[in-house]
Amino acid sequence: MPWTAIWTQARGDAFRAIATYFLCWMTVRSLFGYGMVDGRDGMIATGWLLGGVLLACFAIVTWHVAQDLRSLDRLGLWTGYSAAFSAAVSIVIFYGMLPNHVFGERLTNWFVHGGLNSVTTGLTYGFALMWLWCIRDRVAAPRERLLLNISLIILLAAVCFTRCRGALLALLAAHVALTFVRGVRRSTLPWVALLGAITLFQITGPSVARLVNWQVATRAISPPVEASHTSAPIQEMLTRWDGGRTEIYARAMRGFIDPHEWLIGVGQWGPAEIFTRSLSYMHMHHHSIFIATLVHGGLIGLGLMLTLLFIGLKRAHSLARASEDTWFVLLVFGCTGLIFDGQTLTSLLSIPQMEPLLITFPLVTAASAWWKRRDALA
């Protein structure tokens, strides 16, 4: 079936309508708020508009592909295998080969810019991990099952070594969602694996710390490498608390100068948007898609986004009740992971790079699959 036919048949769909209103509102608010003035501001605005167009194209392609969920199982397998491969290579390179790095430092993805940010690395590895858990029961071939299990072990270790609290929180939420739709018995193995990996990561902390100290002492390099892994990694993650995010959010709210900005926001670019970030030392972005949407599109934009997520979660849960639980679990993972990270849901060209896809992909897939199932039942 051609794409145009699929998209035409989706007319009257509340999800598609709200998604269109959301993207249009965020774009129009930004254009009328500051527009594309000149120089650097025009380039920034062009980048936002291009990112919005790319996101819309990605959503349309995903809507089309989601008509065949079994083909997405193969995509999930290869996504998990690729993530596990990149994690294994990154561990070997950073922990065993490069002289300026030591074992146990916050893991990054070596294949992206020679070391992608550890937060984004943890979230993407966690997403691939949950995708593998969701499709594991549908993998029957012994060799493929073995490869899948090895990938799960590697990804569990990799997420722990990123020491990304957002990724671990998202994993916990996704496991709760998995238990909610599958029951305790069918969710026991994922829980045992997750809690076992976290426990092992904690109790091996002293041994890893001694190895790190030995590496630091035996490497005559300038400047000297400092040990970043403590003997109690879980306590270290808790000690970091919110990483200054509460202050980021509070200062972003102080960036609203006029009362009406609470309703319509300040736009996605321009001096007013920069001002809401300039009050914080972590000023690249707002580190939460929900706070960022409130700042950029006001209560109107946030309301549209929450409505879109509500419809998507409702449809994903309906699919889960029909034994298609992958998209509900992945959507819960994405929504939880981006509570405390992410720049936007309206552009594919975000500063944290692919993070918008952690929500956009399962959201659109669930909405499309539910729509096709409704038509089939009708």
The 10s digit of each residue's pLDDT in 306-355 is 999 999 999 999 999 999 999 999 999 999 999 988 888 888 887 766 78
220 band by pLDDT with thresholds 50, 70 and 90: low
For residues 27-56, give the mean pLDDT: 76
- Of all residues in the chain, the percent with pLDDT exceeding 90 is 49
The predicted structure's pLDDT at residue 282 = 56
Distance CA 339, CA 125 (A): 17
> Is 206 a residue whose pLDDT tops 90?
no
102 band by pLDDT with thresholds 50, 70 and 90: confident
The predicted structure's pLDDT at residue 214 = 79
> Is 9 a residue whose pLDDT tops 80?
no
> Is 359 a residue whose pLDDT tops 50?
yes
Q: Which two tokens stand for residue 206?
A: 């002293």
The predicted structure's pLDDT at residue 333 = 97
pTM for the structure as a whole: 0.90
Q: Calculate the alpha carbon distances from 133 to 89, 179, 182, 269 in Å.
A: 22, 12, 12, 39
Q: Nearest 5 degrees, angle CA 33-CA 53-CA 366?
A: 110
The predicted structure's pLDDT at residue 2 = 55
> Is 286 a residue whose pLDDT tops 90?
no
Distance CA 176, CA 349 (A): 31
First to last CA, the chain: 19
Q: What is the pLDDT of residues 115-165, one digit of tens each?
A: 778 889 999 999 999 999 999 999 989 999 999 999 999 999 999 999 888
Across 68-133, the runs of DSSP E, i.e. the strands, are none
Q: Residue 375 half-sphere exposure, CB side, CA atoms within 13 Å?
A: 12
Distance CA 74, CA 320 (A): 19
> Is 262 a residue whose pLDDT tops 80?
yes
SS3 of residue 265 by DSSP: coil
Q: Calculate the alpha carbon distances from 239 to 10, 22, 243, 305 in Å.
A: 49, 38, 9, 32
> Is 36 a residue whose pLDDT tops 90?
no
Contact 215, 100 (CB under 8 A): no
DSSP single-letter state for residue 349: S
The predicted structure's pLDDT at residue 221 = 55
CA 141 centroid distance within chain: 30
Distance CA 371, CA 374 (A): 5
The predicted structure's pLDDT at residue 39 = 47
38 band by pLDDT with thresholds 50, 70 and 90: very low
Contact 315, 302 (CB under 8 A): no
> Is 280 a residue whose pLDDT tops 50?
yes
The predicted structure's pLDDT at residue 265 = 86
For residues 66-76, give the mean pLDDT: 91
